[in-house]
Amino acid sequence: MKAESIGSKKYSLSDDNGKSIGTLSYEGWFSQKAQATFQNSFLSFKPEGFWGTSIEVVENSKHLASISMNWLGGVSIKTANGIEYSIKHKGFWNSKFVLFDNKKEPLLEFNPSFKWSKWAYEYDIQVLDKKILDDHHTIFIAFYATIFIFRTMTKGAA
């Protein structure tokens, strides 16, 4: 899978065959508010709290998940139906972000690379567990959470 930058505030996710899965669009350059559109779904990401370290994910006015940053620089994702995931940063020179399920099994790996021609980051997404391919909601939530961590680390450059 791949997430390509379209302009400065939008990403297009595609599968290994280049077929579009959907898009993730931010309201502004430094905004945490975003919308994901895929299949017949529309997700909204809205910051919560004073510092904006928690994000609420809403689909059709219904709470779907919450994303929160922890003190170690990772992110936890808790869905409305009780499933928990975590994303952790790995590496130093070759940064990557790994999505784990509640059993600490890796599901996805996001590898950012800076594209000078677009002046933006793009992400190569490695599928580590094929069962995640059927869950586009989790893929988009995890992708948003990865950008959330990366933007925090790079002070908005993602």
| Model confidence pTM above 0.85 | yes
pLDDT of 156 above 50: no
Reading the block at residue 62, the tokens are 């219904």
For 79-115, what is each residue's pLDDT tens digit? 999 999 999 988 877 889 999 999 999 999 999 999 8
Distance between CA atoms of 120 and 113, rounded to whole angstroms? 8
Residues 150, 122: Cα–Cα separation, whole Å? 12
Which helix (H) or strand (E) covers residue 152, if one does? helix 136-154
The verdict on domain 2-154 having CATH code 3.10.450 is: no
Domain parsing of the chain, residue ranges: 2-154
* Residue 64's pLDDT band (cuts 50, 70, 90): very high
Q: Residue 113 CA to chain centroid, in angstroms? A: 15
Pairing of strands 34-38, 41-48: antiparallel
